[in-house]
Structure 1
């Protein structure tokens, strides 16, 4: 028994630079006391993200943008980008809110280090919304397996700027989970997964202060507190005892 859980294609570089420049012009980021936003692209060495088109949602997901440093990260554009991929890919489906326990924790034996909701950001040094929970292995081991929370299909994988190496899983009925800061990814877009399947390993890619898993639950694209829906494993998942 486990201890109780504690409380498609990538756009061209020119297009990415143009999109980022347009965003800077619109938001005014980098003016005044903010750090200058210098485009430092995070290498994408795993599957690229497709543009998700849907008959019920004729607009594509927002274009991929390179990591522009902490100034743009603070504008929360990457959260909007993640939400747009999920919303575009699931628009035709009716929303069904999962019952508690239908989804499982993405680590076999996790400890939470940062809660859902407003928090003082350890990198940005100011209060910002936290759209998920941060988890580590109870023994503080690095590169432990990250597990699919439930049955579904891999909607997207890639190096998602401040989120680092990430996986998004579509569980159907407009329910999706997001796994970020991974050290490695072991699935590809379109793969089918079952609860407990290894999708990657815990790491520290992206904008982090140390190794951990940032885990999100999205209902209709909107981030909700995973702890209201996701249960611990009653016993070690197969292959992770």
Structure 2
């Protein structure tokens, strides 16, 4: 049986319409959290393999004017020292691993990290990463995570300045005093 000629003439138009309606739509932009406070002049939005979307840094690593930290001798003007990077993002933003990692105990962390912070260890690379202010944690101590594993969401749990994630890089099994600049681990890239 031969196709009807008028239907053949409409085939390209139907194909284009089908492609247009099937095209993915741009993701909705998260509404800014009214509690966000930024303690940096950096207004760049960054992407990372660790989280979805493009987000600003709230508190960078190092000396800060953020009021939550005790004066530190490394800092001028009675400033405190922030041992990680806080990245502002909407509550519920998905968090994924960048490397193989094992979930280890968070018992040594205080309440400032929230009620369910995640500590990931990669012995081969020589680090622990502490991630504070997480919710809906989908992993347990002892789990081994592969790169790209969705394991938690961002929240404002114990965060006085709105929804965000706190990333801290420490030596394996090390305490707060072993924290180092976490930016290379996060692979933050300025969004275009």
Match of 2:121 in 1: 170
1:136 matches 2:88: yes
* Alpha-carbon distance change, 186 to 129 in structure 1, aligned in 2, over 3 angstroms: same
Q: Which portions of structure 1, spanning 4 or more consecutive aligned residues, are displaced by more than 4 angstroms?
A: none
1:179 matches 2:131: yes
Give the alignment of 1:37-116 within 5 angstroms: 105-109=49-53, 110-116=55-61
Contact 1:157 1:188 in 2 (8 A): no
TM-score, structure 1 as length reference: 0.48
1:145 matches 2:94: yes
Contact 1:149 1:177 in 2 (8 A): no
Cα offset, 1:143, TM superposition: 1.0
Q: Which of 213, 216, 230 is 2:186 aligned to? A: 230
* Alpha-carbon distance change, 105 to 129 in structure 1, aligned in 2, over 3 angstroms: farther
Q: Distance in 1 between matches of 2:158 and 2:170?
A: 20
Q: For structure 1, list consecutive stretches of 5 or more residues without a partner in the other structure.
A: 8-103, 234-241
Match of 1:201 in 2: 153
* Alpha-carbon distance change, 105 to 208 in structure 1, aligned in 2, over 3 angstroms: farther
Cα offset, 1:124, TM superposition: 5.3
TM-score, structure 2 as length reference: 0.59
Cα offset, 1:214, TM superposition: 0.5
Cα offset, 1:135, TM superposition: 0.8
Q: Distance in 2 between matches of 1:116 and 1:123?
A: 14
